[in-house]
Amino acid sequence: MKIFQKTVLLFIITCLTVSVSYAKSNVALTDIQIIKKIKKIDKKINNSPDCAKFYIERGYLKFILKDYGSAIEDYTKAEELEPNNSDIFYSRGRIWLERKNYESAIEDFDKSIELNKKNSKSYISRGIAKDRQEDYDGALSDYNLAIKYNKHSRDAYINRGILKDKLSDYNGAIEDYKKTIKLCKYSPDAYFNMGLSNYKLGNYEQAVDNFTTAIEQNPNYSMAYYKRGQTYLKLDNQQFAKSDFEQACKLNPANKNFKQALEEIDSQLKDMLKKTDFYY
């Protein structure tokens, strides 16, 4: 049986372009190791069934395994034992967010914020949920509040930048991405998103630089190769574009957009070659 390795996730949310993802810690656990930890906690709960801490720990591990239903049950039990614990509502809200139940997610984040007004991470998460419901004003307000209570929140800046880009405030988005990078130099996602905003502004050379930095920081960033390839086409550099589309396909051969882009540039280059007159 093949053992798949999972990376334990911190309780921080970031967003890459259109999807939510969770910041990773440096601790790696296999599924089997996680299950063993859960079994140990099961014994602790049998001995101390009224200890909320154990339900929180087990709910978190089940969340990593994507056993969302059981994780929600554990956090709900923890809520019964510690109804004033802000982190319980935040953690359960994250699961609702992952399951795309945005109303339940917002309800839990509301409660988390009610119990801890300065909980920056809850504002970020609620902002993401509101964004998904197309409540852009509400999302922007939440990201602003997250920054108000934590001016060093990389996640607040990058998510606000993504929202500003969506609202066509490309310059505002770029400023937020720059703040993200200032807080963390290793930010391939911020460089990538900055490239998207520069592309939309017609700043193609700057966009190429942004995508290049994203690739340098994450050599497996297939979408950055693809977007850089599209930008090279705007600069009439078909050969560089082809090279990027080839690399994107190599990294993610199942992506139909990558494959189509490569086929189209190959066809264009062949047509150009046929139309070229050679004189000797």
pLDDT tens-digit readout, 204-236:
999 999 999 999 999 999 999 999 999 999 999
Residue-wise pLDDT tens digits, 124-148: 999 999 999 999 999 999 999 999 9
Give the closest residue to 107 by CA, choosing from 129, 85, 87, 124: 129
Per-domain boundaries in the chain: 1-167, 189-272
* pLDDT higher than 90, residue 27: no
1-167 and 189-272 share one fold: yes
pLDDT at 280: 43
Contact, 61 vs 37, CB < 8 A?
yes
Contact, 93 vs 108, CB < 8 A?
yes
Residue 119, burial from CB neighbour count under 10 angstroms (0-12, 13-18, 19+)? buried
Residue-wise pLDDT tens digits, 150-200: 999 999 999 999 999 999 999 999 999 999 999 999 999 999 999 999 999
pLDDT at 271: 81
What class has domain 189-272? mainly alpha
Residues whose CB falls within 8 Å of the CB of residue 16, separated by 6 or more in sequence, listed in order: 189, 192, 193
pTM score of the predicted model: 0.84
pLDDT at 277: 57
- Which range, of 1-10, 121-130, 201-210, 249-258, averages the lowest pLDDT? 1-10
Amino acid at 170: Y
Q: Which fold has domain 1-167?
A: 1.25.40
Whole-number percent of the chain with pLDDT over 70: 88
Q: What is the mean pLDDT of the chain?
A: 90
